[in-house]
Structure 1
Amino acid sequence: MNRHFACNSTEPLLSVNELKVHFSVPRGKLPWSGKAMLRAVDGVSFDVRRGETVGLVGESGCGKSTLARAIVGLVPASGGSVKLHGVETVQGAKRDLGILRRDVQMIFQDPLASLDPRMTIEQIVAEPLITHRPDVARADVRARVLTILERVGLNAQHLRRYPHEFSGGQCQRVGIARALISEPQLVICDEPVSALDVSIQAQIVNLLRDLQRELSLSLLFVAHDLAVVKAISHRVMVMYMGRVIEFGEKRALYAAPAHPYTRALLSAVPVPDPTVERARRHLLLQGEIPSPLQPPSGCAFRTRCPAAIDACGDGQPQAVSLQGDARRVACIRVPVPIE
């Protein structure tokens, strides 16, 4: 079954097609309990265009971080395709993996845990440059490290310090500098602001937007905060239990969410105006997220969906386009679909 959520565009920088990440896990603690299949990512397809930011949102445990790590090769894919510049990286040759390592970098969720405590900031930031750009003379490495540190708001006084001497926001700036030092074309941001204070979150988001404009970067921005995603993204992808259920332009998705799950997520975002917030009607979901080891038949969201009907259990819904809209939505009750 084809569930491609890509919008019509020119040749994308990154193209993900039917990517799967499945884990075999024990059913119980006893040796004879057998194994169960956990489908963390189950047939996800999307693309990232040059110079754009694609936001990826969803509840904890929906597979966002697993998807991000599978794209860069930190988690082995069980199937599907990941192409960078049209070159296959998941099923391709080892030499093609080198292209992925050089042109795709990652910013991690925990800024302090992602930095080696035994290395100075200069060593941490210089390591990707030395690894991926051996042609750069060692005399030029420090100059490039200092340049990128200044771009993220740090300076030469920080070169010989260690990660534990910095705040969370400063550590995240170091992580951004490390990701950008090798001049990648795509940066995958795995919840880069979730561990930071609100004021620091705004600084990091603004920094990423500025760097994207300066360096013509493409970003895959993973988060569970829809307000942050709205501030930085061009297109937004909503994920639920390993599948993408809605994907489209930010303005259309936020103005009129089509999938019931997307509506519930946006309903939970608070409005800073107390009068407007009190007058809003919130869409509350009933029940808990089903176990990924025993997902419901048909649409995985149907056990919590306020609009579910019997037909929702017959089979996994395919993505359809909305009339007059570039979005694609995986729901059999989406109005006016175009087959």
Structure 2
Amino acid sequence: MNTQKAVTSASQRERVLVTGGTGLVGSHSIARLVGDGYQTRVTIREPGQEAQVLVALRRAGVDPADRLEFAVADLGADGGWAEAMDGVGHVLHHASPFPVTPPKTEDDVVLPARDGALRVLAAARQAGIPRVVMTSSYAAVGYTVKPDNHYSEADWTDPDTEGLPAYHKSKVLAERAAWDYANAHGDIELTVVNPTGIFGPQLGDRPSGSVGLVRNMLTGRMPVVPIMYFGVVDVRDVVDLHLRAMLHPKAAGERFIAVGGPSISLFGMARVLREHFPAAAGLLPSAELTIEQVREAAKTEPALRDAAALGGRIPVISNEKARSVLGWEPRDIVETIVATADSQIRLGLTPADAG
């Protein structure tokens, strides 16, 4: 079992601004920051969302005491960002739109992601904050086919790749825009974290897309799965990498892939769940679609377009840079998959006898 190493600094009690605090990564970031003693300010889109953050902290077993505050600021508008940045020493920008269903147009996803990132960077720069750590995605790295299927931080997804989902395109264009902004202004540093599929304990009321896969498997909603291989990383390790990137001098101007180990298929994930949760065996996927079947089904089922675009290939995704530069040590992916399922059972989101 991986023991997460503490990230310490003389600036530990400086105020950290977190965007996207109601999401999976954001909620764990807040819990980690508050638990480590940071003054933490969280942006919310509208008043009333504070309760979601407080519920997540309670589930994480963290008492915010006097270390948590909120600011109202929306990625789609300029108002509130100057106030949100006031007195802040560090920024973790996690927020980005993630459509539950395919958007009507690409711009519905691309524009909020790109313009929101630029708003955060501009407001941070105007406030004199030295560095922004931005959550991008492996979607911006490895969704254009390479002959050897090996991917590192040097790789970029071509936004014009045929069949590329709008969300993936939004991550590419938002990250590109952020780098262009940082390179055009020499007085602010940018560091980017590119996680693969993020799994792990759920703190909020709604599962993320990745966590929802495990939930759907455990509840019998996925009797068959498409052939699809992808990287897995624990949300707690994603947060740890962000904090290392926030503080380490060598992280400035760099991007870091967050992946816990070799790629796994959805069917392989189902095998892990069957081994560790035998009572749920009858509910778990029992068959895997071939890539030909996936491509045919994707013509009428948008949810399968991602799997169709990957084409059944097995990406080899490197985390060597995060390990060697920042000393990052992720958990084994089996531990992460089991922790994901455990949290779903504990929250009562799957059958009680699954464990």
* TM-score bracket relative to the smaller structure: 0.3 to 0.5
Higher helix share: 2
Higher strand share: 1
> What is the TM-score normalised by the length of structure 1?
0.35
**Whose Rg is larger?**
1
